[in-house]
Each structure stands twice: as structure tokens, then as C-alpha cells.
Structure 1
């Protein structure tokens, strides 16, 4: 039967009820205005008719796909922003009303230029292309869109286009000896986080939300269900991290926690959860006359990527370890088995200084200690 407007007992709002080509509908219009409700009824009926004839793929908008992606656990960052005044902006707002089937590479490139007019190629890639593609891939999983290879912006080549500017910490790799020197000056809880990052290449947000159930020590494998690209992936476990994970999974739940035993709030602000710890480590080193200001949580990811290249690891293996989005068809259809990935991650070097950090004795116990307390207790144990 065609859709009709009804009012439920005890409610002033109008509801749409009926069946369109075998699909039953009963939903609120969200309004008590009969005229407005009837306009909504007509739109719902028209949409359902079109969907029954052409299929869902012909009708899903980017906004709907973005909402579904966020509802499935994806990040809303860069997709939807609401100002204190209530103004909505972001990628989803830019594509408001646009159907997925009508979007092209030119539309995506234009969105990046409009939303980030002064940004570098790397920033546009991170803040526009990556979230857009994540939404698209989730829509593909929902069978709302076709699989498509989106072209990402490339950094200009050649010294004549280099722009000299102050570099942000975390944008370049460091040596593992230098990383060990920095991590050894951190509190045990944050040192454990940085250690896991430097020997996995995981994104900070992935590590902060990692749970004991995601770890398979026997298989040397981590399973991440929700990632930045919108697709689940696996991460090989470096042999160096086995004792750390063995200890942390005994308490269950979220693996990496603060010295108070509390999980870090999930955010993608480039490891901002331990920003104070990073600053503290820099200051402690500075007092010793050592300046290390270029290391942050994201430094680990750049370091792992660079070191794997130096070690001669195949680009396809490196990209799967890091969870990079596929940029070409050969990568898209290449899935490397687990064992080669495990062998590759184990090529990352482990300086002696990293193995000598005191918290390795009992990671769970030492993670609850601040640096001053940890140092004092370590001295007391040595004297005993």
C-alpha cells in the first residue's frame, strides 16, 4: 500500500507508514507540521521507488556513506566539523547531496584544493584523500559503491621546488640508537608505548586502542579490526616485543595504559595522549646536555618504514606491515602471507641500550611507576 501519514497515541509528530514495492516502512518525520510531514512522505516514497528499481548504489550520498563509516567505528576527524556556533564543515559537508556514483577523481581533487588551499601534498593526502578513501572503501563493503583506485597527490620531485620551513617533530625517521636514548629517558608506561611503536610501525591511534584479544603471540600476529583506511589488517610481532605483550595481556582489556592504570583517550592528534611525557623526556635529556627534539610518537612509523627499505624489504611487504592504502592495481591485488611479514619486521635492529631498560623485568608492574620512583626502586634492588 502507498505510504500514509499517521500520528501515534501520545505523540504530536507525524509518522510515515506503509509498503513500497514490498518494503515496509514505519518511521517518524520528526515534525508535527502536517504539510512538512507530507513533503517528507513524498520524498521517502520517491527514494524507495528509485531504490527498488535502480538499487541502493544509485541513491547513496557521500554524507550517508560517511555517517555509516563513522557508525562502524571510523574517525569523524576531517569528515565532519561543528564549530561552537553550530556551523558544519568538513569533507562530508563539502559533498553534501552528492551521490557516490557521481563522484569522480576530479571532484576529490577539487575538494582537496577548496578545503586545504595552502596545504602541502602530504597534508592534503592525510587530511582529505585518506578519510575520503576510507569512507569509499567502507561503502564498497556495504555494496553501495564499486571498487575504485583513487589517485593521491604526489610530493614534487627535485630540489628546485623545495620549500625551507621548520619541520615538525615526528615527520622524519631517526636511528634506532638515538630512539633508544630518547625512550630510556621516558617513564616506563610511555617508554613501553614508544617501544611498541618503533617495533611495529603502527599508528598511535591503533596502539592506544589495542586490546589483549587482538594479540596472538603463538602466531606472532596482531589483528586490527578498524583502521584509518577503513579496512582491517594484520601486524607482525617483532620477537623483541614478545616479552612486553606477554606481560601486558595478562591484565586483559586495553593493553597500553597510563601509570594510573587508565586507558589513554582515543584520538588521532598524532600521539597527543603522551605529549607531556615526550616534552618531559626532552627536558630531562637537555639537562644532560643532550638535545633530541625531533622524536614524537609518529617518528616511530617513519623510522620503521625507512629501516625496512634500508634492510631491502620488498615495497609490497613494507606497505602491508604499515597498513598503507593501495595506490596501484598490483598492490591492491597483492596479499603477502604472514610469515614473510614476520621475517621482515624482525630485521629491525635492537640496540643493547633498549634491552637494558629496567622495566623489561616486569612491564605491568613498572608501568605503574613514575620515572623517579622507578629509578629509586631500581637502585634499591641493585643495592640489595
Structure 2
């Protein structure tokens, strides 16, 4: 039967119910105006017929796809602003060009990398999740061109110099990221309940890939964490920094006092990967230990060639004759 509108007992808002194309429909019009409610019910009925005759993609709205995407437990990183932009736009109307235009409009002063990460990636993720369910077609979006930046890793010598000038908790943060490969957000979210000093382990919640990993705490890292002045309640954050801006100020101050290269906290994660790879640890193990879901990403971004040309001596089992460039602090 066609959709009819009604009010619940004691209520003022109109609802609709009925069967369209064999599907039972119920919903709220979210209005107390009867004429408007009738129009909303008619539109819902029309969408149901369109879906029945032309397939689910004909009426699929981005808002509905995003709700399903979230409900499936997929990453919602940067999704809120994307949802606010697309709202009830039909997925079939969201094209490659429309997404790129939206990225430039929402982030006019941002880098292309930011546009790719915060607009294109989440929009495409929602739509392609819907495609997995058979609700619409798959979508390919051309990314904005991003100039490849050379990421410089910290070294153990850099860490030594930094911790000598940093507070116990700031120094421990640097050592933790260098020793475990943790991302900055993961390190700042670490609580004392995640840390087992006696068992030499820490549970790291990998926000970017939506998983967890158990990291080994080496003796130096155990000592660094143990030196942090804290009551160590399970719910308290280990490093105590809630604001990246405040962290950046004290971090840069310690760097300046130490007289070392102004490397960022993320360079500690880079240093973990580079140091492990140069030590001969296989790529798959490094990816697992550092929380990289994709080995190819690790190789592309972190597996830089060693500058020591005498590295080829290993073919015959002989030692290097040059000082590895990775040991330099101020070069």
C-alpha cells in the first residue's frame, strides 16, 4: 500500500509507513507540518520505486553510505568534515572532478598531500565500501600531485643528544617512538594501563590502521619510562601531552639546546625503520614491528640506500671501511 503519514499517540511529529515495491518502509518526517510531511513521504516513496526499478545506486545518498561505513567499523579519520560537505548528495553524482573541486574548496591553502588525505581518501573509501556491498559502482579518483620529500631519520646519536637536554617525559617519548616505531598520535595516546614494565611490553593502539600491536620494551626504554615522574594510574597518559602544539614548543626547545638537526617527532619513527633495515632485519618483520600494514609503503617511504659505498664488502664477509653516514648528528 502507498505510504501514509500518522502521528504517534501524544506526539506532534508526523511519521510515515507502508509497503512500496514489496518493501516495508517506516520513518519519521521530522516535521510537525502536515503538508510538508506528505511531501517527504511522497519523496521517500519515489526513492523506493526508483531503487526497485533502477537499482540501489539510483537513490544511494552519501550520508547513508557513510552511516553504513561507520557501522562496519571502518576508519572514520577525517570523515566528519567530508560528511558535512556531501550530506545527502547522491553517490552517483559524486565524480572524480567533483571530489577534486571539493578538496580545493574545503582546503584552499592546504598542501596537495592534505587534500588527498583529508578529502579524496575518505570520500573514496566510503563510496568504495558501498561498492563492495553492491550498492553502487567503484570509484577511482586521481590524486593531486605531491612532491616527494626526503624524510630524514633520527639516529641513536641524535636521540642521545636530545634526551640529554629534554625533560624525563619528553626524552622518554623520543626514545619510545625511536624504539617501537610508534606514530606520534599512538605514543601520545599510550596509558599506563597499556604498559607492563616488568613484562617489558606495551600495547600500542594503531589508530591509522585500526588495530593493535604489542611492542617490546628494550632495557633503555624501560629505564626511560620508569624515570617519568607519575602516579601511574592505569587511565593516565604516559607522556602527558594532550596538545601537539604544546609538545612542538618543548620539543623544539630541547633540539635547540642540544645543537642538533631540527628533526620532528615523526623522524623518530623513520629512524626506527631505517635503523632496523640497515641492521639487516627483513622488511616484513620491520613492517610488523612498526605497525605498517603495507610492506610496499614501508619500502617506498623509509628504505633509503646507505651512503657507504663499501657496503658491498659484505659480499665477501669483510667489514665496512667507511664510517656510516647514519651516525652523524649535525651533518
Common fold by TM > 0.5: yes
> What secondary structure does 2:18 align onto?
strand
SS at match of 1:199: helix
Tell which has more relative contact order, 1 or 2 (C-alpha 8 A, sep 6+). 1
Gaps of 5+ in 1: 81-90, 259-263, 266-272, 332-350, 352-384
Q: Distance in 1 between matches of 2:171 and 2:155?
A: 17
Asked if structure 2 preserves the Cα contact closer than 8 Å seen for 1:211 and 1:254, the reply is: yes
- Cα displacement (A) at 1:150: 5.3
Change (3 A) 1:73 1:58: same
In structure 2, the partner of 1:298 is 266
Aligned residue for 1:340? none
Indicate the residue corresponding to 1:196 in structure 2. Answer: 176
C-alpha separation between the residues in 1 aligned to 2:23 and 2:12? Answer: 25
2:180 is paired with a residue whose SS is: coil
Alpha-carbon offset, residue 299 of structure 1? 2.9
Change (3 A) 1:50 1:307: farther
Q: Normalising by the residue count of structure 2, what TM-score does the alignment of the two structures yield?
A: 0.63
Alpha-carbon displacement from aligned partner over 1:256-299 (angstroms, at most 9, x marks no partner): 352xxxxx65xxxxxxx25434423543564xx53357244333
Q: Residue 115 of structure 2 corresponds to which residue in structure 1?
A: 124
Q: Verify the 8 A CA contact 2:164 2:258 in the aligned structure 1.
A: no
Q: CA deviation at 1:14?
A: 0.9
Does residue 99 of the first structure (1) align with residue 67 of the second (2)?
Answer: no
Q: Distance in 2 between matches of 1:137 and 1:188?
A: 46
Kindly tell me the number of residue pairs found equivalent between the two proteins.
Answer: 291
Q: Which protein is bigger by CA-based radius of gyration?
A: 2
After superposition, what is the alpha-carbon deviation per residue over 1:163-198, rounded to whole angstroms, capped at 9, x for unaligned?
A: xxxx9xxx7432232134324544434444333322
Q: For the residues of structure 2 that align with 1:51 and 1:202, how far apart are their CA atoms?
A: 46
Could you tell me which residue of structure 1 aligns to residue 321 of structure 2? none
Structure 2: state its 5+ residue gaps. Answer: 301-326
Label 1:198 to 1:70 Cα distance change in 2 as closer, same or farther (>3 A).
farther
RMSD: 4.7
Q: Distance in 2 between matches of 1:326 and 1:153?
A: 23
Task: Summarize the Cα distance change of 1:152–1:240 in structure 2 as closer, same or farther, 3 Å threshold.
Answer: farther
Q: TM-score, normalised on structure 1? A: 0.56
1:178 paired residue number: 158
- In structure 2, C-alpha distance between the alignment counterparts of 1:149 and 1:210, rounded to whole Å: 36
Structure 2 distance, partners of 1:311, 1:149, is: 39
Checking the alignment, whether the CA contact within 8 Å between 2:159 and 2:175 is kept in structure 1 is no
Tell me the distance in 1 between the aligned counterparts of 2:249 and 2:36: 56
Partner of 1:280: 250
